[in-house]
Structures are given as C-alpha cells and as structure tokens.
Structure 1
Amino acid sequence: MSPWAPLSERVFRTLWIASLAGNVGTWMQTVGAQWLVVGEPGAATWVSLVQTATMVPVLLLALPSGALADVVDRRLLLLGVQTALFGVGGVLTVLTVLGLVSPPVLLLFTFLLGVGQALTLPTWQAVIPEVVPREQLPAASALGAVNTNLARSAGPAVAGLLVAHTGSATVFALNAVSYGVFALALLFWKRPPRRMKAEHFASAVRAGGRYVRYSPVVLRILARVVLFVVPGAVVWGLLPLVAHQELHLGASGYGILLAALGVGAIAGALLMPRIRRRLSPNRLIALAGVAYGGALVVTALVPDELAVTAVLVVAGLAWMTLVSRMNATLQLFLPTWVRARGFGIYQVVFAGSQALGALLWGQVASLWGLDEAFLLAAAALLAGTVTILWWPVHEQDGADRSPAIFWAEPHIMLEPHLDEGPILVTAVYRVEPAKSAAFIEAMEAVRGSRQRTGASRWGLFQDGEEPGKYVEVYQVPTWEEHLRQHEGRMTGSDERAEERALALTDGPPEVTHLLPAHNND
C-alpha cells in the first residue's frame, strides 16, 4: 500500500492540510517564544520553561479532553477550540507589538495555547480512524508524522528568518492565522451523527483510565515512550542554548538546526513502510535509542555547526520512527469507544515526559553545563533502551478491535436506574476435570476483557462441594456501565477470548445480575 493512500480520502486530505498549517504555526510560535527569552538573565531556565509551559497543559488535561472527545461531537469540539486559540494568539500578537510581553506573561500565553493543544491532540487522533479505512491507519499515522515534521522543517526555518528581520510578533500573528485555517476546514466536514447515547463525563474519564490500566499492550507502549522521551527532551528543551552559546548562531541558524530535525523525521516517515516490514517494534526501539543517544553525544562533544546539523538529521529520523511506530500500534489496538481517551492518556504520558525532561535538563544545564546535560541524557537514553530485553512491546496486528455485540440482552424483573450500582454479575460454568487447567488459563483473557470494558473487580472461584463447578464474579460501577458492555464496548478479540473459554465448558453459563438491595417499606 502506498504511504500516500490516505490522502485520496477527501476529508482526511482537507483536514491534513489544515493541520499542517496549524503545526507550522505552532513551531513558528515555539521559535518566536524561545528566542524572545534567550537573552534574558537565567536564559537556560526561561527557555526550558517555555517548553514546559507548552507541555504541562497536555499533562493535566489530555485525559479529560480525551473523555470529552468521546462524549461530545468531535468536530464541534475541534471547531470551538481552534476559534478560541485564534483569539488567544491574536491578543499575544498585539501585546508583543506594544512591548508588553515579559517572560512571565509569555509563559502565561504559552500555557493557554498549550491548553488548546491539550484539547486538540487526542481529539484529532480519534478523528483519523473516522475518515480513513482501517487498513490505511498505519499509513495515516505515518502521514501524521510527515505533517508534524514538515512543519518542524519549514516552521522553524521560516520563523528564524522572520524573527531575525521582523521580530517575534510576526510569527505569533501567523500562528493565530493558522488556527483560523484549521477552523475553516472543519466547517466543511460533515460528520455522521452519533449512534450511541453519550456517556457521562466523569464516568467516561474513569472508564478510560480503567481500560488503559488493564491493557498490557498499552502499558508497554507508554513505558517505552517514557524511557525514550524523558532523556530525548534535552534536544527540544536546550537546542536554543546550543545554537546561541555553543555554536554562536542567530535565530536563522537555530531555525536551520530545527529544520534538520524535521528533515530527518520526514525521511523516517517516508521510509516507515519499509522499516515496518523489515524491523520488529523491539528492534526499531533499540536502533532508534542507539541512534538518538549517539546524536546527543556528538552534540555535546563536537561544537561544530555542520556536525551538529548532520546528527540532528539522524536524531529526527530516530525520534519520528519510534514515536510513529508507537502511535500506529496504539491506533490499531484501541477500540472506537475509548480511542480518544486512550490517546488522551498517551498524550499525558508523552507531554509529561517532555515537560519533565525539559525542566530536568534545564536544571542540569544550569548547574553543570550544557555538554554535561547532553551526555547525561545520552546515558539515560541508552540505559532505557537496554530495558527492551526485559520489557518488550507486544504488538498485536492481528487483533480484532471492531465492535462486537455478542451478549444477549439482560432480562430481569426489576428495572434499575441507569446510575444505580454497584452491579454484581455472576456466571456459573461447568467444566470437566480434565479441562479445568485450560479453562482457568482461558479465563485470564476473559478477565482482561471484563476489566477493560467496565468491571472494577473480578474473580473466578471453584465450588468446594462440586469440583467441576466454577463461578465467575465481577462488579460494575453502575447499571449503565454494564449495559455498555452489552451494547458496544466489547470487540471481536473479546468475543474470541470468551469463545475459547466457553469451548471448554459443558454448555453456556448461568448468568445472574445482582442489584443493590433497597428497603421498599
């Protein structure tokens, strides 16, 4: 399949181009903001805080915004956020022109723009599977990386020239315009109406957290992101200081360094289909870690503009291939009902790692120097890469994540309210002694299914008086949560897991639903 195939889909193509405009604006904004404080006393701290102020809102809000995107209309949410960002960017531009932007004021507006990004990122990731076929999702994910890194190449280079000749206000204004472009593109997308009733916000947040907690594949992906991004953030947090203090470059030179990262990332995105065929996720993680760590060492020890530019191309390629692979794996694994929340948690971990890393390496640079910060980050990155021997990523390309409604509708005499709970569900199975070990093992997969889709507690028990009798017991917070298990949270993989367990039993289970007892007197 061509890596450009998703662009044949009109809606994806339109939104992709609009997203490119927004990403270019964001990178221009970053260059303008960082260069505005690079000459301030304590520049290492201020520069790293710009990166932190951008990432902290994502850390705080990505999960709630993911839940919001699963609850409300995603198109309207994106449209409202882009309109608000257009206003915030416009105010920052005016204040900059008037000379009223001190470092604290800049951090405040950077934080507000970061809030908009926190609301946008998981929503946009959840939209992609709506506008491209499932078989094109890996290519669409790679195109998302191409988008980001085209922006990373063009945005900083253009911003560097504009900052050098016209000042930061110009790039702030163009960033505001980019939000308006994205908003206009969203006006032309006619999203199909929601089929299911929306969940309550608070329960949606809890359900998203519960799903990730009981998904080993997702947890491994998040662990790899932390181990790579925390040390890798030294580049994004301290590259302005490398340009200014080590290489003695101006804003244009800094833009070229960022463009080198983008060029490498674009090359990686174009090579991604070939890399995906030839390298397992774990080999890719190892190679990316070694390449990126080596680039950090060269940046620290070889203060030469050409050498640093060359290794930043390698670093950009390594960063993009790892992040894109983890992103695509997550896209394929998450089912529709929890996709935005899953990506919200992914963004929390990703942004938190970047924010923590930027702040950490900024303090290390202030205390011990830039070179020491890059060398320590390289050591930490290589140490994290070695852990792939014990914590590999288990990719499940063959898993069926499509919705599957295979449970019979519950028939009970009482009619509980949707918010009534907790609900206790029991299922009695009868298993021949020779099959008991296989049945218990098969029920472990069923356990994961129950907990990902709503169960807060789960247990499997054997009857002491009847050895062939097993009782599954699980608790769901509310009756509505249990109905959602019946009506759309289960996937084809969940159905296969349950079928494997039932194939070992003598007939279907006897299921009962226990409700909270009420005194009706």
Structure 2
Amino acid sequence: MSGPSAWAPLRHRPFRALWLATVVANLAVWMQNIGAAWMMTELAASPLMVALVQTAMALPAFVLGMPSGVIADLMDKRRLLLITQGLALLSMILLCIPALVGNLGPVALLAYTFALGSASALSMSAWLACTIEHAPPGQTAAAIALGTVSPNIARVLGPALAGAIIARVGTPLLFVLVCACMASVIALLTRLGTTAPISRLPGERFFPAIVSGLRYVRHSPSLCRDLGKVAIFSTAGSALWALLPLIARERLGLAADGYGILLGCLGAGAVVAALRLPDMYRRHPLQRIVFAGGIAFAAVTLLSGVVTSLTLLGVLYVVGGMAWMAVNTTLMTVIQTSTALWVKARVGSIYLMLIMGGMAMGGVLWGLIAARLGVASALITAGLVIAAGTFLSLQKALHLGREEDFGPPTLTLRTQSVLDITPGKGRVCIEVSYHVAEPQRDEFILLAHAVGRIRRRNGACDWHLQRDLGHPGHYTERFIVDSWLTYRRQQERSTAADALQEERLQRFLAVPDQLARHYLIEQKTS
C-alpha cells in the first residue's frame, strides 16, 4: 500500500513554517535542560538533586496538562503560543541574570527551570493541535511523525551545541543563546495565521470543558488502554533520561561535551525511527512495532548499568533512541488519529500530562533508588521493569484511526424544538423508540451500547437502554444532557464515524426518525 513520504507535509508552506518554529523552540528547551542538569552537577552532586532537574521541567506538564489542552481547544492557538513563548523568554532572562553574575544556587536553578517548564507545558497541547490542523489532507500520520522529529533534531543538535558551548564559554552564556532562540520562535510565530476553533455555538466555559475532555476519554475504552500504556512506559523509561548525567560524569568520567554526545546518539536514533515510521506502519502491525521498541529500550536501559565503553554506549543509545521513538510516536499517532477534532487538544494534553508526569515522578523514583542502591543497580532494575511492563500492557491490538475521526463534524442537526429554549433552562432527556425482531436482538443491543458510548463521550451525562416488558421487541433509548445547548453541542461534535454508527442503529427505529424521538426538559419549581 503506497502513501505519502515522511517529508511530504513540508511541501505545505504553513506546516513548514510551524515545523521550523517547533525545531527552534525544542532546541532552546533542550539546551536549557542540558545546561541546567550539568550546572546542577557542579552546584550539588547528589543524584536526587540532579534527577530533580528533569522533574522540575516535566512536573508542570503533569499539573498544567489538562488546563493547557482546554485553553488550546477554546482559543486561537497562535495567540496562545505567542503568550507562552513570551513567558518562557521572560523565565530564561530571569535565570540568565544570576547565572551571569555567579549568584545562582541549586534551589533557584530548580525554580527557574520549573518556571520555564510551566510556560512550555501551557504550549505543548497547542503545538500538537497546530501540527495536525496544518497537516495537508491525507498526510496526518506523516505530519505527526515529523512533529516528533523536530524535538529529536533538537535532541541531536541541542546536546552537542550545549556541550560544546559549556566546555568553551560556560553555562551562563549558553543560557543567553537560549534566550535568543526563544526570541526567534516568537518572530516565526508571528507569520502564522490564526487557528481559532470554528463553531456555530457559544464556546464552552473552562471547567465544563475540562469535564467534557475527561468524559470523552472515560467513555473511549481504546483511548484509556493506549493512555495507560503511555503512563507505564514513560514512568519506567524515565530512568535512563534522569540518570544520564550521572552515567556520563560518574561511570564514564566525561565532561559536558561527552554528556552531549550521549544525548545526541539518543536523538539521532529517534530521528531515524521517526522518518521510517510512516513506512513501517504500512508494513508491520502497530502492536509489533511497540512491542519491539519496548523490549529494545528495556535492553538498552539495563545494559547502561553494565557497559562502560563510550563507543558501545553510543551505539546502544542510537538503538535506544529508535526504540523510544517507535513506542511513543506510535502510541501518540494512534491516540491522535482516534480522537475527534473538537477535543483533540484536550486528549493531547492528557497524553502529554501522562508522559511528562511519568517522567517527573520517574525522575524522583529512580533518583531515590540510585541514591540508595547506586546508578548501575537502578538502571538494571529499570530495564527489568520496562520489559515486564511491555509484556503486560500489550494485550490488545493497536489501530490507526480513520481520517474522518479527526475531521470537521459531518452530522447535521436534525432536531428542532418548537420551544425557544434558553441554554440554562434545565436538563434535557431524549427518548428514542426501537422495534427489534428477535433474530436481530443481539446485534441491536451491541450496536445500541456502542452508540451509547458515543453519546456519553460527546456530552450525555447519563444513558440507558430499556426493554418494554409488555411489548416484546420494543426498546427505548434514554439519554440525558445538562441543557439544550449541550445537546446541540453533542450533535455538532459527531464525526463521520459516529454518524455511521448512528445510521446503522436507525434501521431499528419503531417509526420515522422525528416521530421516534421525544424531547423532555426538566421542569423546575418557579
């Protein structure tokens, strides 16, 4: 089966501009991470303090992940990116000042890194959603793969540049270069057009939007399984990333540039894997790709606690980078291509929240284990945990979603009320009547429950299918939404895939559609 090349989306000018901005932004973040981690080894050589640098950068993504997705779904994403990149630049300027005058302590370094991580966390969902929105038609999987290439290009170049700069002019001047990169990202973003969400209905409020995002995931069993795999792999796999500075300094006796080379090898492997993934998706089952990647990364992590040769570790880390990318990019592509457009940034934020939260908590966990047992023992333990998690979490097959699952809504509102109902009038109950012949009973019940999950994830707060005891073969579907406006949103959120399921269910309607439906609104006391 043929498909677009891995580089095809870059022929599309808006996507190319956005992709370049992500490369520079990720380059800045990686150089800051390298500089902060290396400076911490000079300020406080405790394994826990070094591992906390990763936690300070990753923890905000866990805390702010869901709010960032809601904001990205509800406002102009370009404006959100400009605001967050401005905050990141301000955080770096405040870090540069004490670093340049030699008055930066370990706690202050963690605090400024946390501030930068917070600004980055607020923008991560917007970057992800923009990547998909600017992808040319039919090239979403390639666009997502390229979106994962950009941070890994930064992972290759960032450590190498950071290590060279630290070795020659010191960490403070590296931070100055990071400020310049962030300023250039802002300049690039000013060239993009707006990406405000398009809807005929009033926008959701902040906290109800959080609830609707969580409800969407809760009633999407495949998404729950895939997000669980992300959490397991990122928490266990964080050991290598968190302890890599100590591998370089303590086990190999390397300076900052050597640490950069090791990270660059991981990044190089990730870039190679990302460019090959679109073709691999057409040739191999996704579950096989994720399984092979998980086992390979487990082996690399375990061997990092045994091998002390820089050359051999460099080769292993190229393989490790490929494995890390194969697992995370495949899971992210499955998740994003199985998510409706209206909630894509929120689901993306949950994905990022889990992976960054896993990295943050894993950084603390593996730092404590390394402080107690030693770096080598911690890495060997982590490798065994990754392998076990890979075997236990891959019991269900993985599939890419169809293009219409993330396209614009296609189901037209069929329901008109004779009343002029205001949005806050009260809860609405919708009843739909069906007549089912006995041979079709099992097929109907399975299909009705599938539609029920769609109704609940798109806005229904309650759903039931009931059988009429007095009339065999007569069934009534009842679902409740918080308001008439919520019901209209539920209709607007339906994708082509959702509409297909509902059309199959309509074959069992007792009477024509409009007559089979009843709309009941909550009656409150005056």
TM-score w.r.t. the length of structure 1 is 0.96
1:284-363 → structure 2 map (5 Å cutoff): 284-363=289-368
1:66-465 → structure 2 map (5 Å cutoff): 66-191=69-194, 194-196=197-199, 197-397=202-402, 400-406=405-411, 408-465=413-470
Q: Relative to structure 1, is the Cα distance of residues 409 and 111 closer, same or farther in structure 2, using a 3 angstrom cutoff?
A: same
Does residue 1:489 correspond to 2:461, yes or no?
no
Describe the superposition over 1:450-486 as per-residue Cα deviations: whole angstroms up to 9, x where unpaired. Answer: 0110012111000111122111111212322211112
Matched residue type, 2:345: A
Task: Report what 2:14 is aligned to.
Answer: 11
Most deviating of 219-228 and 421-430:
421-430
Describe the superposition over 1:322-342 as per-residue Cα deviations: whole angstroms up to 9, x where unpaired. Answer: 111112222211111111111
C-alpha distance in structure 2 between counterparts of 1:54 and 1:194, whole Å: 29
Query: Is contact 1:82-1:182 (8 Å) kept?
Result: yes
Describe the superposition over 1:117-136 as per-residue Cα deviations: whole angstroms up to 9, x where unpaired. Answer: 11111111111222122311
Shift of 1:172: 1.5
C-alpha distance in structure 1 between counterparts of 2:316 and 2:195, whole Å: 46
Task: Report what 1:502 is aligned to.
Answer: 506
C-alpha distance in structure 2 between counterparts of 1:142 and 1:295, whole Å: 23
Query: Is contact 1:88-1:112 (8 Å) kept?
Result: yes
Task: Report what 1:62 is aligned to.
Answer: 65
Describe the superposition over 1:481-515 as per-residue Cα deviations: whole angstroms up to 9, x where unpaired. Answer: 211112x2000111111112222344445222222
SS of 1:293's equivalent in the other structure is helix
Describe the superposition over 1:107-164 as per-residue Cα deviations: whole angstroms up to 9, x where unpaired. Answer: 1111111111111111111112221223111111111122111100100111011112
Query: Is contact 1:290-1:385 (8 Å) kept?
Result: yes
C-alpha distance in structure 1 between counterparts of 2:336 and 2:416, whole Å: 35
Query: Is contact 2:77-2:195 (8 Å) kept?
Result: no
Shift of 1:392: 3.9
C-alpha distance in structure 1 between counterparts of 2:426 and 2:308, whole Å: 64
Shift of 1:198: 2.2
C-alpha distance in structure 2 between counterparts of 1:203 and 1:333, whole Å: 22
SS of 1:301's equivalent in the other structure is coil
Q: 1:38 aligns with which of 41, 48, 58?
A: 41
Task: Report what 2:522 is aligned to.
Answer: 516
Matched residue type, 1:293: A
Q: Relative to structure 1, is the Cα distance of residues 408 and 190 closer, same or farther in structure 2, using a 3 angstrom cutoff?
A: closer
Query: Is contact 2:444-2:505 (8 Å) kept?
Result: yes
C-alpha distance in structure 2 between counterparts of 1:397 and 1:194, whole Å: 21
Structure 1 alignment gaps of length 5 or more: none
C-alpha distance in structure 2 between counterparts of 1:115 and 1:381, whole Å: 28
C-alpha distance in structure 2 between counterparts of 1:280 and 1:188, whole Å: 39
Q: Relative to structure 1, is the Cα distance of residues 483 and 345 closer, same or farther in structure 2, using a 3 angstrom cutoff?
A: same
Shift of 1:186: 1.5
Q: Relative to structure 1, is the Cα distance of residues 152 and 375 closer, same or farther in structure 2, using a 3 angstrom cutoff?
A: same
C-alpha distance in structure 2 between counterparts of 1:171 and 1:38, whole Å: 16
Query: Is contact 1:264-1:314 (8 Å) kept?
Result: yes
Query: Is contact 2:85-2:120 (8 Å) kept?
Result: no
Query: Is contact 1:29-1:172 (8 Å) kept?
Result: yes
C-alpha distance in structure 2 between counterparts of 1:389 and 1:185, whole Å: 41
SS of 2:416's equivalent in the other structure is coil
SS of 1:427's equivalent in the other structure is strand
Most deviating of 407-416 and 47-56:
407-416
Matched residue type, 1:385: T
C-alpha distance in structure 1 between counterparts of 2:255 and 2:425, whole Å: 63
TM-score w.r.t. the length of structure 2 is 0.95
Query: Is contact 1:212-1:342 (8 Å) kept?
Result: yes
Query: Is contact 1:427-1:511 (8 Å) kept?
Result: yes
Instruction: Report the RMSD for the aligned CA atoms in angstroms.
Output: 1.7
Q: Relative to structure 1, is the Cα distance of residues 395 and 132 closer, same or farther in structure 2, using a 3 angstrom cutoff?
A: closer
Matched residue type, 1:475: I
Q: Relative to structure 1, is the Cα distance of residues 469 and 184 closer, same or farther in structure 2, using a 3 angstrom cutoff?
A: same
Describe the superposition over 1:63-94 as per-residue Cα deviations: whole angstroms up to 9, x where unpaired. Answer: 11100111111111111111121111111111
C-alpha distance in structure 1 between counterparts of 2:292 and 2:410, whole Å: 41
Matched residue type, 1:340: A
Query: Is contact 2:269-2:317 (8 Å) kept?
Result: yes
C-alpha distance in structure 2 between counterparts of 1:133 and 1:376, whole Å: 44
Most deviating of 5-14 and 410-419:
410-419
C-alpha distance in structure 2 between counterparts of 1:301 and 1:174, whole Å: 36
Matched residue type, 2:153: L
Q: 1:50 aligns with which of 53, 63, 76?
A: 53
Q: Among all aligned residue pairs of Structure 1 and Structure 2, give the percentage whose two residues are the same amino acid.
A: 34
* Count of matched residue positions in the alignment of Structure 1 and Structure 2: 519
Structure 2 alignment gaps of length 5 or more: none
Describe the superposition over 1:182-207 as per-residue Cα deviations: whole angstroms up to 9, x where unpaired. Answer: 21112111226543142211111111
Shift of 1:414: 3.6
Q: Relative to structure 1, is the Cα distance of residues 344 and 400 closer, same or farther in structure 2, using a 3 angstrom cutoff?
A: closer
Matched residue type, 1:489: R
Query: Is contact 1:72-1:198 (8 Å) kept?
Result: no
